[in-house]
C-alpha cells in the first residue's frame, strides 16, 4: 500500500473543526497556517524540543532563529524576510515572559519525574493506515511511556481541547502498537502559557478516533461532507472555494 493511502494524525483536528476543510485539503488546497501563524507553531515547537538543553535563554532563542531556516528550508524559505524579522523582534522583546512559561513547563516535568526519551518520533500503523509525528515520547515516574503533543495556541481553562485529546489518543494507539504496549496516558504541552495537562486515554477516546478515521477515509475517497459553517468560516483559508462549491451544488439539488 502506497504512502498516499495513509491518513495523518494531524488531519484529525482539521476534520473535527470542519470536515469540508479536510475535503478541500485532500483536493490539494492549502489549509496550513501561513506567515506569523506558521512561525508561531514552528518556533514554540522547536523551543519545546530543546527546553532541557537551554543555558542562556535569550542567547539560545537567538541561535534557534538562526537554525530555523536550516531545519525548515521549505517553510521558512517561502516567507518574506520582513515577516521573519518582525516575528524575531517580537519574540526577543518578549523573552522574559516566554522564559517564565518555559520554566513552568520544565517545573512540571521535574515535579512529576517525567523523563524525555525522544522528540519528533515518526510513527505509523500499517494496520490502520495512519501515520504521524509524536512531538515527544516521555517516561512517566511510574515507568509508563506516554506521547506528548506540543501546542503553541491558547489552553482551555480546564483539561485539553477536543482536537488535542483525539490527537493524543491517536498517538497513543500508534506508539502503543510500535511498543507492543497499551498506553493510557498522554500529555499536552501548551508551551506559550507554561501549562502541561495530563490526558487519561479511555476506550471511548480510542473508539472515537477509529470512527473519525473512517469518516476521514470516506472523504479522502471522494465523499463530499457538509461544512461546519461556524464563525470560524470568516478566517478559513478555503472560504472562497467553499462558497463557490456551495453555490454550484445548490444548482443541482
Residue ranges binding ligand SF4 (CB under 6 A): 18, 20-21, 24, 227-229, 232-233, 236, 238-239, 242
Residue 222: which region, alpha, beta or left (left: phi > 0; alpha: psi -120 to 50)?
left
* Least distance between ligand SF4 and beta carbon 39 (Å): 23
Which CB atom, from 30 or from 52, has the smaller least distance to ligand SF4?
A: 30
Which CB atom, from 25 or from 149, has the smaller least distance to ligand SF4?
A: 25
Q: Are strands 115-125 and 145-151 parallel, antiparallel or unpaired?
A: unpaired
Which CB atom, from 116 or from 228, has the smaller least distance to ligand SF4?
A: 228
Of 143, 187, 191, 151, nearest in space to 168 by CA: 187
Which CB atom, from 147 or from 227, has the smaller least distance to ligand SF4?
A: 227
Classified as helix, coil or strand, 202 is coil
Which CB atom, from 103 or from 225, has the smaller least distance to ligand SF4?
A: 225
Question: Residues with Cβ < 8 Å from 171, sequence gap 6 or more?
Answer: 9, 123, 132, 134, 147, 149, 186
Residue 84 to residue 79: CA distance in whole angstroms: 7
Q: Where are the beta strands (DSSP E) in 181-241?
A: 185-190, 195-200
Cβ-contact 48, 150 below 8 angstroms: yes
The residues facing 174 across adjacent strands are: none
* Least distance between ligand SF4 and beta carbon 22 (Å): 9
* Least distance between ligand SF4 and beta carbon 18 (Å): 3
Other CB atoms within a 10 A radius of the CB of residue 100 amount to 11
* Least distance between ligand SF4 and beta carbon 30 (Å): 13
Which CB atom, from 191 or from 242, has the smaller least distance to ligand SF4?
A: 242
* Least distance between ligand SF4 and beta carbon 246 (Å): 8
Residues comprising the chain, all counted? 253
Which CB atom, from 15 or from 65, has the smaller least distance to ligand SF4?
A: 15
* Least distance between ligand SF4 and beta carbon 225 (Å): 9
Residue 125 to residue 1: CA distance in whole angstroms: 12
Q: Cell digits for 193?
A: 502559557
Give the CB-nearest residue to ligand SF4.
Answer: 227
HSE value, Cβ hemisphere, 13 Å, CA-based, for 164:
24
* Least distance between ligand SF4 and beta carbon 221 (Å): 18
Amino acid at each position: 500500500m502506497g504512502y498516499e493511502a495513509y491518513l495523518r494524525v494531524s488531519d484529525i483536528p482539521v476534520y473535527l473543526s470542519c470536515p469540508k476543510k479536510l475535503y478541500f485539503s485532500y483536493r490539494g488546497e492549502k489549509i496550513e497556517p501561513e506567515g506569523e501563524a506558521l512561525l508561531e507553531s514552528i518556533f514554540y515547537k522547536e523551543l519545546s524540543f530543546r527546553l532541557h538543553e537551554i543555558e542562556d535563554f535569550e542567547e539560545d532563542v537567538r541561535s534557534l532563529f538562526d537554525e530555523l531556516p536550516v531545519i525548515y528550508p521549505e517553510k521558512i524559505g517561502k516567507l518574506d524576510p520582513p515577516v521573519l524579522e518582525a516575528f524575531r523582534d517580537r519574540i526577543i522583546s518578549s523573552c522574559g515572559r516566554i522564559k517564565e512559561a518555559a520554566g513552568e513547563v520544565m517545573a512540571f516535568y521535574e515535579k512529576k519525574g517525567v523523563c524525555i526519551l525522544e522528540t519528533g518520533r515518526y510513527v505509523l500503523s500499517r494496520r490502520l493506515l495512519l501515520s504521524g509525528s509524536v512531538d515527544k515520547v516521555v517516561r512517566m515516574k511510574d515507568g509508563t511511556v506516554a506521547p506528548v503533543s506540543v501546542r503553541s495556541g491558547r489552553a482551555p481553562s480546564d483539561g485539553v481541547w477536543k482536537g488535542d485529546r483525539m490527537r493524543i489518543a491517536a498517538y497513543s494507539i500508534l506508539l502503543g502498537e510500535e511498543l507492543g504496549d497499551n498506553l493510557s496516558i498522554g500529555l499536552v504541552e501548551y508551551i506559550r502559557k507554561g501549562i502541561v495537562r495530563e490526558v487519561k486515554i479511555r476506550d471511548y477516546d480510542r473508539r472515537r478516533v477509529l470512527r473519525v478515521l473512517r469518516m476521514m477515509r470516506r472523504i479522502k475517497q471522494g465523499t463530499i461532507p457538509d461544512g461546519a459553517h461556524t464563525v470560524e468560516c470568516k478566517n478559513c483559508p478555503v472560504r472562497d472555494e467553499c462558497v463557490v462549491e456551495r453555490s454550484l451544488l445548490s444548482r443541482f439539488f
